[in-house]
Amino acid sequence: MRTSSQSVTVVALLADPDVPTEIAQRLAQTLPARLADKSGEGRRFDVEVVSEPFTAGTEDLSTLMRRIMDRGTAENWDIVVALTDLPLHSHGRKLVVNLSHEHGLALLSLPSLGGLRLQTRARRAVEEAVLGLAGPQATAAEGPPQSQPLLGPFAHRFAPIHPGPVGAEETADLRYVISGPRGYLRVLVGMVRANRPWRLVPGLSKALAAALATGAIATLDSTTWSLAGALSAPRLVIATVGSVGLMIGWLIVDGELWHRSTEGSPEARQRERLYNTSTVVTVGIGVLVCYVGLMVINLVWALFILNGRVFASMTQTPLHATEYLTLSWFVASVATVGGALGSGLEKDEAIRAATYSKREQERRHALQDDHGDQPS
């Protein structure tokens, strides 16, 4: 596939839809100049971005590498760097990058880079992979690719990333993986980042409308005033946890977001746990943001509408800042329960996109539609 004698090296960024495609498109704006500057010798690079669900239906590394290789051969690309937001596994470890020097291929799993400074980390990883693949190949006398300092800075910078085992029959000849509790946490944070939990907030418009209506009515109810004043801080915390937990559970159950693997392998079970944990964390962040927003709105509404004399006559307690905050806190919990009922009407794309299993189903459908449109 590689044609190092050419003056221009064609690099294709083959990206899964959504986050990988967005990252690839931003990379393509600066990658050619950065690669030319780092490679030296007057070498030029032409970077193309191709967005397609190349991971649809499988997470097997050998299958994915063959797909990438076939795609690159058909298009006559010199180097192919595939980007996916799926958490891929190799021999029980989380994959970071899979490389084939012979075929000029790289497969990068974005969640393994974590959730912070993802664009910068992805750029460094892609640059180092391309420069390593574009360089001179090792001969038999020079030893296997593992002896070359291809991604030495990459592994050091993103520790605990380290080289992983590669089977003799595999397309890849060099692999970096991440393992241990820190590795699990890094991948989980990366998956939550790819889920983009902030997109859940506008997606919960009907639930928020129901919660706001519930909160507005509850703020005017004297019984709510008495209950809020009688509750201690631990009970308010329990009410918060209960209402938020109810909202999270209802969204997951109603949206059928819980992933159940049909495979019985350890990697499939590990992947299932990652998927479901990332879904709970993603939905939880979205619900907590909504909860805080409800609390602020309820506080503003209470400051505007409540009368101190009426409040004191009903509760035998003067209306001070503590009473405003306690009432707003309690009403936010009550409103969140009301919002959970309203969330049953939600069918927004943002909620379905909060889980990897749903995105994978959509990718499979998109791939089937593309094949169906092709003439036979």
CATH number for the domain that contains residue 175: 3.40.390
Asked whether residue 185 is assigned to any structural domain, the reply reads: no
Instruction: Specify whether 172 is located in the same domain as 310.
Output: no
Tokens 């003056």, residue located = 7
Same domain (yes/no): 168, 251: no
Nearest CA-CA partner of 75 in 52, 99, 58: 52
Q: Are residues 121 and 47 in the same domain?
A: yes
Looking at residue 21, what is its pLDDT?
93
- 123 shares its domain with 218: no
**φ/ψ (deg, to 5) at 100:** -130, 105
Model pLDDT, residue 368: 57
Does residue 347 share a domain with residue 262? yes
Q: Helices 19-39 & 118-134, crossing angle to 10 degrees?
A: 50
Question: Residue 205 belongs to what domain range?
Answer: 196-372
Asked whether residue 187 is domain-assigned, the answer is: no
Q: What is the largest CA-CA distance in the chain?
A: 92
Shared domain check, 170 and 210: no
Please give the pLDDT value at position 40: 74
- The count of domains in the chain is 2
For residue 351, the model assigns a pLDDT of 67
Domain-embedded: residue 189: no
Same domain for 167 and 230? no
Taking only the tens place, the pLDDT of each residue in 37-51 is 888 777 889 999 999
Nearest to 355 by CA among 68, 15, 18: 18
Distance between CA atoms of 34 and 13, rounded to whole angstroms?
15
Q: Which residue has the higher pLDDT, 262 or 370?
A: 262
As a whole number of angstroms, the distance between CA 172 and CA 359 comes to 27
Per residue in 135-186, pLDDT (tens digit) is 765 443 444 444 444 454 455 455 577 788 787 778 888 888 888 888 888 8
User: For residues 275 and 191, what is the distance between their CA atoms, to the nearest angstrom?
Assistant: 8
Backbone dihedral region for residue 148 (phi beyond 0: left; psi -120 to 50: alpha; all else: beta): beta
Rounded (5°) CA angle 110-107-200: 25
Is 101 inside any structural domain?
yes
Task: Report the pLDDT value the prediction gives residue 363, as an integer from 0 to 100.
Answer: 63
Query: In this structure, is residue 204 part of a structural domain?
Result: yes
Are 221 and 82 found together in one domain? no
Predicted pLDDT at 356: 64
Q: Is residue 320 part of a domain?
A: yes
Whether 191 is covered by a domain: the verdict is: no
Residue 296 sits in the same domain as residue 338: yes
Residue 92 pLDDT: 78
Q: What are the tens digits of pLDDT across the range 297-342?
A: 999 999 988 888 888 888 888 888 888 999 999 999 988 887 776 6
Task: Read off the pLDDT of residues 194-216 as tens digits, 9 standing for 90 and up.
Answer: 888 887 777 777 778 888 888 88
Quote the pLDDT of residue 130: 92
Higher pLDDT, 266 or 257: 257
The share of the chain scoring above pLDDT 90, in percent, equals 27
On whether both 210 and 305 belong to a single domain, the answer is yes
Q: How many CB atoms lie within 10 A of CB 11?
A: 26
132: enclosing H helix or E strand: helix 118-134
What's the rounded mean pLDDT across residues 228-249?
90
Is the same domain home to 200 and 171?
no
5-14, 324-333, 349-358, 361-370: lowest mean pLDDT where? 361-370
Least confident window among 74-83, 264-273, 283-292, 363-372: 363-372
pLDDT score, position 146: 45
Residues 19 and 101 in one domain: yes
Phi, psi angles (nearest 5°) of residue 175 = -145, 140
Please check whether residue 2 lies inside any domain of the structure.
no
